[in-house]
Amino acid sequence: MRLAFLLVIACSSPLAAQSSRLGAEIDRRAALVEGKVVTWRRDIHAHPELSNREVRTAQIVAEHLRALGLEVRTGVAHTGVVGVLRGGRPGPVVALRADMDALPVTEEVDVPFASKVRATYNGQDVGVMHACGHDAHVAILMGVAEVLAAMRRDVPGTVKFIFQPAEEGVPAGESGGAAMMIAEGALDDPKPGAIFGLHVFPYPAGEIRYRAGALMASADGLRIVVRGRQTHGAQPWSGIDPIVVASQIVMGLQTITSRQVDITAAPAIVTIGAINGGVRNNIIPDSLVMIGTIRAFDAGVRRDIWMRVRRTAENIAHSAGAVAHVTIDSGPPVTYNDPALTERMTPTLRRVAGAGNVGMAEAKTTAEDFSRYQEKIPGLFFFLGITPPGTDPRSAAPNHSPRFFVDEVAFPVGVRALAHLAVDYLTSTH
């Protein structure tokens, strides 16, 4: 028994020593790029670009990766950039991803590099802001690329850097995002065995939160057109009122998650966000349009809700002599962290941030199209806290707010986390 134990130690010691040496080198080089990461982030923040319009950002990324000696492919899913770093030693392939797009939000944060950019979004003049922190994601991953490129001789395998456009959703009539990145080969030649990504979030700065299994919800667009029969508002019996029918449908939809779905198994949400119809107070319109969102944490529950939404809307409309046309736009699936991969890599997160600064995240009903990659290969997505010390995270402006603020002190943790995850995965995969 003692001999077997000694043999195990003897075989594992070189691997442990190698991992420790590479880890120390990552930390040293991460400290060297800290200032660059901040500079990149501020520049990108001051020049935000909407989904599928990330031309300047993509150019900055591509030029940086080329300068590092990576194989670079541009124009993926319109403006996406994929860089490949081939290590000096043979090994597996791992991917790291950052999203690049900003939001149609007018910034209200008082910083010298605040966005003053305006653009047209779906026909409207809007302010543009990195209100979800994608500027930080890009800068952090650029820093990771510089760290690992400087160590390429010792990297045991290949690292793919995926800079993705349109995570926030594409403009009307366009395609893009993670699904298009995958369709255009972002995960091919070579194919990664795993993918890692992070998202800044109003947790305390420098802290990391993760969760095995379902971390973020699926997000599906819902559109219901209710067709009745137009008539005078003073004679409702002469027509079929789609407004009353729509009101009944809204109430009926709420019973799906409150009475029909087992919410102890997986939470779910059906929300109607807008109802548009009619032009005068005394005209019952011929039709109206309702739009909303469906959120779920389980693929089976998600499909079940689709069926129930259609049945509820169509049958309520039929009972009134109206017709309901239901369209469900399948969006990002559940962001699902592979349990085995998560368990395997959690020690890396604790080593990087400190065990006391790593904890379990609550499931989020927001969505992320990082989940598209997780449908193809195992993935781990985690949150990086960016709320300044002295600010209660519960009162901090949330992502997508015009007052969303990122404390840059968290960036070194982000750079080290992604770099260590990549190298630890490559080193421990056989």
Q: Report, as residue numbers or ranges, the catalytic residues.
A: 101, 167
**Bridge partners, 72 (sequence order):** 83
Q: What is the largest CA-CA distance in the chain?
A: 94
Do the beta carbons of residue 131 and residue 399 sit within 8 Å? yes
CB distance 93 to 193 below 8 Å: yes
Q: How many CB atoms lie within 10 A of CB 218?
A: 25
Q: How far apart are CA 47 and CA 102, in angstroms?
A: 9
Distances (CA, A) of 400 to 83, 104, 168, 262: 28, 9, 10, 31
DSSP E strands in 77-141: the ranges are 80-86, 89-99, 118-121, 124-127
| Bridge partners, residue 373, by sequence | none
In contact, 283 and 298? CB cutoff 8 Å: no
CA within 13 Å, CB half, 392: 2
Instruction: Identify the three-state secondary structure at position 30.
Output: helix
DSSP code of residue 79: T
Phi, psi of 278 (to 5 degrees): 90, 155
The whole-angstrom separation of Cα 345 and Cα 360 is 14
Q: Residue 83 and residue 160: Cα distance in Å, rounded?
A: 6
Strand duo 208-210 + 358-360: pairing:
parallel
Torsion angle defined by CA atoms of residues 21, 26, 28 and 32, in that order, rounded to the nearest 10 degrees: 160
The Cα 384–Cα 53 span in angstroms is 26
**DSSP output for 372-384:** HHHHHS-EEEEEE
Exposed/middle/buried for residue 428 (C-beta within 10 Å: 0-12, 13-18, 19+): middle
In 3D, which of 242, 319, 323, 252 has the Cα closest to residue 287? Answer: 242
Beta bridge partners of 48: none
Query: Which residue in the block uniquely carries the two structure tokens 């109003």?
Result: 202
